[in-house]
Amino acid sequence: MMLRILLVDDHRILREGLRALLSTEDDLELVGEAADGQAAIDLTQQLHPHVVVMDIGLPDISGIEATRKILETNPDVKVIGLSIHSDRRFVVGMLAAGAKGYLPKNCASEELVKAIREVGGGGIYISEQLKGIVLEDYVRQVQSKEQPAVSTLSDREREVLRLLAGGQDLKQIAASLGLSYKTVEGHRQHITEKLGMRSVADLTRFAIREGLVSLDA
């Protein structure tokens, strides 16, 4: 089966390199490229790729949040995280969002091709150097039996939190989302109650940790 690939990365040179790599594989077809998270969401709807290779550090919304949004409406799409970030919160955040694979950007080109085929065929692929992080987090979750706090937020609450963490006040958020000030104020109250956090600084740190706001690649 020919696997249709959507490549998402804000660095043109990296996209060019991956485009050249994929062009040499008979069973892989690059159907589109995106330089930001919203474009990735839109192109997934338009092009129906089998696999999305997703950078985490994008200039608008993070790759983690873009992955969540893509899988909400396209649950059959497989996402592979590809990033310079290899510490626990990014790896776990991407997998919690629904990604089926994660690779550091310094991986060998052959490994990326292998990961695309594995994930496109219904499997899971984690780079060897990151498997310890994933196993450690799995053990932690089994022992604690806790769900990620971000899962308690609705889609609208996540969006309000993302804008709060991005520096907007409630009036600006209301204008951005086309909602009343009172409605946005209510969303913020629900967010603080669910997360047990009151200050904007705490909410911002949480949003960064959970991948709701953009990170520099």
Kindly state whether residue 215 falls inside one of the protein's structural domains.
no
Per-residue pLDDT, averaged over 142-149, amounts to: 55
Q: Which of 141, 169, 198 marks a domain boundary? A: 141
User: Is the model's pLDDT at 19 over the cut of 50?
Assistant: yes
Residue 35 forms part of a structural domain? yes
pLDDT band with cut points at 50, 70 and 90 for residue 93: confident
Q: What is the pLDDT of residue 137?
A: 59
**What CA–CA distance (Å, rounded) separates 161 from 153?**
9
* More confident position, 3 or 14: 3
pLDDT at 149 over 80: no
* pTM of the entire predicted model: 0.68
96-100, 111-115, 135-139, 178-182, range with the lowest pLDDT: 135-139
pLDDT for the residue numbered 216: 53
pLDDT-derived band at 116 (thresholds 50, 70, 90) equals: very high
Identify whether residues 129 and 175 lie together within a single domain.
no
pLDDT at 142 over 70: no
Residues 134 and 153 in one domain: no
Boundary-marking domain end, from 141, 159, 183: 141
* CATH number reported for the structural domain that contains residue 162 in this entry: 1.10.10.10
Q: Which residue did the predictor score with more confidence, 38 or 143?
A: 38
Half-sphere exposure of 105 (CA within 13 A, CB side): 16
Structural domain of 194: 149-209
Lowest mean pLDDT among 122-136, 152-166, 200-214: 122-136
Q: How many domains does the chain have?
A: 2
Segment among 72-81, 133-142, 154-163, 202-211 with least mean pLDDT: 133-142
Average pLDDT over residues 65-93: 88
Q: What is the pLDDT of residues 27-71, one digit of tens each?
A: 999 999 999 999 999 999 999 999 999 999 898 889 999 999 999
Q: What pLDDT is stored for residue 217 in this prediction?
A: 41
* Residue listed under structure tokens 């960064």: 208
- Comparing 213 with 101, which gets the higher pLDDT? 101
133 and 161 together in one domain: no
12 assigned to some structural domain: yes
Mean pLDDT computed over every residue of the chain: 87
Tell me the mean pLDDT in the region 174-188.
Answer: 94
Dump the DSSP string for the chain: -PEEEEEE-S-HHHHHHHHHHHHT-TTEEEEEEESSHHHHHHHHHHH--SEEEEES--SSS-HHHHHHHHHHH-TT-EEEEEES--SHHHHHHHHHTT-SEEEETTS-HHHHHHHHHHHHTT--EE-GGGHHHHHHHHHHHHHH-PPPGGGGS-HHHHHHHHHHHTT--HHHHHHHHT--HHHHHHHHHHHHHHHT--SHHHHHHHHHHTT-S----
In a domain, 217, yes or no: no
